[in-house]
Structure 1
Amino acid sequence: MLEIENVVLLIVDIQGKLAHLMDKKEILFKNVQNLIKGSRALDIPILWVEQNPQGLGPTIPEIADMLSDIQPISKMSFSSCRNDSFLQALNALDRKQVLISGIEAHICVYQTAADLVDMGYEVQVVTDAVSSRNLENKEIGLQRMRESGVSLTSVETALFELLKVAEGDQFRQIIRIIK
Structure 2
Amino acid sequence: MEILLVIDMQQKYMNSYEPDLMTRVNTRIKEAVESDVPVVYIRNVGKIENIEHYNLADELKIVSECSFTKRWPSAFSSDDFIQFIQNLNVDTINMVGVDGRCCVARTALEAVKRGYKVRIYLDSVAAKNDNFYLKELPEMRDAGVEIIAD
TM-score (norm 1): 0.75
List alignment gaps of at least 5 residues for structure 1.
Answer: 1-5, 158-179
Match for residue 55 of structure 2?
58
Aligned residues: 146
1:121 and 2:125 aligned? no
Match for residue 164 of structure 1?
none
What is the 5 A alignment of 1:83-102?
83-102=78-97
Task: Answer yes or no: is the 8 Å Cα contact 1:107–1:141 preserved in 2.
Answer: no
Q: Greater Rg, structure 1 or structure 2?
A: 1
In 1: Cα distance, 2:135 partner to 2:14 partner:
19
Task: Answer yes or no: is the 8 Å Cα contact 2:40–2:64 preserved in 1.
Answer: no
Counterpart among 40, 47, 66 of residue 47 in structure 1:
40
TM-superposed CA distance for 1:140, in Å, is: 2.7
Task: Answer yes or no: is the 8 Å Cα contact 2:96–2:125 preserved in 1.
Answer: yes
Match for residue 77 of structure 1?
72
TM-score (norm 2): 0.88
- String of CA shifts for 1:18-37, please: whole Å, max 9, x gaps: 22202xx2232111000000
SS of corresponding position for 1:128: strand
Comparing 25-34 and 114-123, the one that deviates more: 25-34
Q: Greater share of strand residues, 1 or 2?
A: 2
List alignment gaps of at least 5 residues for structure 2.
Answer: none
Q: Greater share of helix residues, 1 or 2?
A: 1
- String of CA shifts for 1:59-98, please: whole Å, max 9, x gaps: 11111xx215314201101111121011011112112111
